[in-house]
Amino acid sequence: MQRLGRYEILEEIGRGAMGTVYRARDPKIDRVVAIKTISVEGMTPSDEVLYRQRFFREAQAAGQLSHSSIVTIYDVGEDDATHVPFIVMECISGQTLEALASGERLPLATSLALTHQLAEALHYAHSRQIVHRDIKPANILVTPEGQAKITDFGIAKLQRTQFTQSGYVLGTPAYMSPEQLTGGAVDGRSDVFALGVILYWLLTGDKPFTGDTSTAISFKIVYKEPVPPSLINPSVDTDCDHVIARALAKNPEHRYQNGRESYESHSHPHVCHLQLTSMRAITPQCIVLSPGWCNPPARRSLLAEGASGQSNRVLRSIVTLGRATGCTMPPVSCDSA
């Protein structure tokens, strides 16, 4: 039986330029895991040494993350026989968000719930000074129960470094921020930009920046504004255009600041104010996003009139999205007035 370290390889489940992903078994605790090997082909000996050191450092840092929407890293190692570095992760049943949402547009509540989970996960990671740098639907797994899981934390930065050093062309830049494309400093706000692209895509079925070539897409990301989502999907409230536009701001200073942004006066623009006109259920028509926060009277009115459990979940998703992608707000309870 083929092994990587102590792990028994069960089957190959994916392969790419960076390496191979296997489904494997940890015989010590009889647990099924996913193992991703990291290719070091094409590097000079000195670059390889530095790369291995960075790989273990980045993977160990990401291994400190423990969140329901982040794929857990169990172990990192190097095969004794081949010296191939590998990372051992939680094995997730499900499919990528890319596969899940590539056909028919997902329901609004599903899109909001998934975005809510992703925003919370990014907020959690950024608060620990860990930036993903490659947030895209292909790096997000969705379980049959609807739980989103971000994968590749800790190695996305290394992947981009290796692709650059080895002369590979990066894949589509559609989810990359302007500062990534122009060689600027990258922090959590680049992940927020990518989350804005994902939300735009979930709501409209289209990416905000398109083109026939990577160069054309990159040019639009850096210099052009996207078509407002409401012009593509009329069911999207026009005020939501402003939320997405801020997430996709060219200047990182104009985006949501990953939960670190603090509003000290009413002169600052906030992300979510909910005007709840339905007393029984929340629908797209009764959610209005505009400057200001959800005011307590409106919230009490909805809850006092017996809003459904699904309504509470949608409300929770929107309020949490606003908080986790960049705005600090007072504690909000959707379960009691």
Find out whether 124 and 65 touch, Cβ atoms under 8 Å.
yes
Find out whether 154 and 58 touch, Cβ atoms under 8 Å.
yes
Supply 140's token pair: 């997000």
Give which of 298, 310, 244 is closest to 109, Cα–Cα: 310
Give which of 17, 287, 47, 292 is closest to 159, Cα–Cα: 17
Supply 47's token pair: 């670059």
List alpha helices for the chain, DSSP H: 45-62, 97-101, 108-126, 156-166, 178-181, 188-204, 214-223, 229-232, 238-247, 296-304, 309-324
The catalytic site residues sit at 134
CA angle 245, 246, 249 (to 5 degrees): 85
For residues 257, 261, 265, 267, the Cα torsion angle rounded to the nearest 10 degrees is -10
Supply 78's token pair: 């190097």
DSSP letter at 268? S
Query: What does the alpha-carbon distance between residue 153 and residue 139 come to, in Å, rounded to a whole number?
Result: 9
Supply 217's token pair: 């897409």
Q: What is the DSSP string of 108-162?
A: HHHHHHHHHHHHHHHHHHHTTT---S---GGGEEE-TT--EEE--TTTHHHHHHH
Residues 6+ apart with CB under 8 A from 229: 200, 203, 204, 236, 240, 241, 244
